[in-house]
Amino acid sequence: MTADAEIVAGLRDAGLVGAGDVVLEPLTGGVSCDVWKVETPGGPIVVKRPLEQLRVAAEWHAPVERGQSEVRWLRRARGVDARIAPEVLAELPVGHAFAMRFLPGCPVWKDELMAGRVDPVFAAQVGQGIAAVHAATAHSDSDRADFPNDAMFRALRVDPFLLYVAQRDAELAPILYALADDLTARKIALVHGDVSPKNILVSADGPVFLDAECAVYGDPAFDLAFCTTHLLLKAVWSGDARLQEAAAALVAAYRRGIDWEDAEALLLRSGHLTAALLLARVEGKSPAPYLTDPDHRRIVRDQARALLRAPTPLDALVSHWQRTLP
């Protein structure tokens, strides 16, 4: 039986499809998993199966067990607010695949931003949603026990975004190694690990978060830094000041939700991580594909290197971010 046939058999066993022909319609956009849309008697669903070798130019392997982590994050997030994550319908007995409900009429936030449809109010809702999950899971022994995924987070985030650059940049290596050590040592709240506009749907009820394959109990500053990084990169790519305003709205809304630790300390950590992630998106294993202009890459690289040497709280970093060459 082929892997696709096993997926269909799993859907039948879960009672999601009948005995007739089942079509797995591939969906595009993911580098870390196969994704299909499937029409069922109960409406369309999405099936995800993680890949062991990610679809990037560099060699990048990751444990396929991350599919289970994503399922756990989605269910935990729905326990915080059912509007912010899709419903998981079944876990399938092949390749750690799972099925979840398809949400029609919900564009991907990245597509909206790239098309120039920038809404700071929605960005603030993203910040609120991230903070809500962090607040609900902060200092929780049960959540920490449910997400012992340090090796997975290292393979998907620490190695490719921090250590890969450190190994190729002797000047900044001590800073990046120290950041990596601090990031992996902090166990504060449940971290999504991939809060990117490409993983957020725009629904009538606000943001819906997808693709929590990197979920770990760790430092919440990472989620805030990861999403802010994407908005700042797109601000350079487009030159659109509204993207910087959206980043500021996201950070401000997130800050209002911090009730588990000192907000200034978290924003400083997040600012330093943002600098590292910005550099990684031009020099790491997964460079931002739309930053093809050498000037754009220079703008990001020069600012990121300076910010790594002189850590800046994230709100100040965003307000002083330069979208163009001086």
128-154 pLDDT tens trace: 999 999 999 999 999 999 999 998 899
Question: What is the number of domains present in the chain?
Answer: 2
CB-based burial, 224-235: b 16+ in 10 Å, e otherwise? bbbbbbbbbbbb
Do both 117 and 191 map to the same domain?
Answer: yes
The larger pLDDT score, comparing residue 103 to residue 15, is at 103
Looking at residue 129, its pLDDT comes to 98
> pLDDT tier at 187 (50, 70, 90 boundaries)?
very high
What is the C-alpha to C-alpha distance for residues 188 and 174, in angstroms, rounded to an integer?
24
On whether residue 197 sits in a domain, the answer given is yes
Do both 209 and 243 map to the same domain?
Answer: yes
Do both 15 and 141 map to the same domain?
Answer: no
On whether residue 137 sits in a domain, the answer given is yes
On whether residue 325 sits in a domain, the answer given is no
Do both 201 and 256 map to the same domain?
Answer: yes
Q: Is 45 within 8 Å of 102 (Cβ atoms)?
A: yes
Do both 67 and 168 map to the same domain?
Answer: no
> pLDDT tier at 285 (50, 70, 90 boundaries)?
confident
On whether residue 190 sits in a domain, the answer given is yes
Looking at residue 96, its pLDDT comes to 73
Residue with tokens 């931002």: 288
Do both 92 and 185 map to the same domain?
Answer: no
Q: Is 123 within 8 Å of 246 (Cβ atoms)?
A: yes
Looking at residue 57, its pLDDT comes to 43
**pLDDT tens-digit profile of 68-127?**
788 999 999 999 999 999 999 988 877 678 888 999 999 999 999 999 999 999 999 999
**pLDDT tens-digit profile of 257-276?**
999 999 999 999 999 999 99
Do both 14 and 141 map to the same domain?
Answer: no
- Global model pTM greater than 0.75: yes
Do both 160 and 71 map to the same domain?
Answer: no
On whether residue 326 sits in a domain, the answer given is no
Q: Is 180 within 8 Å of 162 (Cβ atoms)?
A: yes
Do both 121 and 201 map to the same domain?
Answer: yes
On whether residue 20 sits in a domain, the answer given is yes
Do both 39 and 120 map to the same domain?
Answer: no
What is the C-alpha to C-alpha distance for residues 92 and 94, in angstroms, rounded to an integer?
6
Say whether 67 sits in a helix, a strand or coil.
helix
Looking at residue 82, its pLDDT comes to 96
Looking at residue 3, its pLDDT comes to 58
Pair of tokens at residue 33: 């998993």
% of the chain with per-residue pLDDT over 90 = 70
Q: Structural domain of residue 11, as residue ranges?
A: 3-101
What is the C-alpha to C-alpha distance for residues 161 and 171, in angstroms, rounded to an integer?
16
Mean pLDDT of the region 172-200: 97
Do both 79 and 126 map to the same domain?
Answer: no
> pLDDT tier at 60 (50, 70, 90 boundaries)?
very low
The larger pLDDT score, comparing residue 200 to residue 57, is at 200
The larger pLDDT score, comparing residue 60 to residue 278, is at 278
- Residue whose C-alpha is closest to residue 25's, from 2, 41, 7, 9: 7
CATH at 243: 3.90.1200.10
Strands 200-203 and 189-191, by their bridges, are unpaired
Max mean pLDDT range (14-18, 244-248, 281-285): 244-248
CATH at 54: 3.30.200.20
Q: What's the one-letter identity of residue 88?
A: V
| DSSP string for residues in 191-235 | E-S---GGGEEEETTEEEE---TT-EEE-THHHHHHHHHHHHHHH
pLDDT at 281 over 50: yes
Looking at residue 51, its pLDDT comes to 67
What is the C-alpha to C-alpha distance for residues 174 and 178, in angstroms, rounded to an integer?
6
On whether residue 277 sits in a domain, the answer given is yes
- Residue whose C-alpha is closest to residue 169's, from 308, 326, 317, 322: 308
Looking at residue 58, its pLDDT comes to 46
Do both 215 and 120 map to the same domain?
Answer: yes
User: What integer best gives the mean pLDDT of the chain?
Assistant: 90
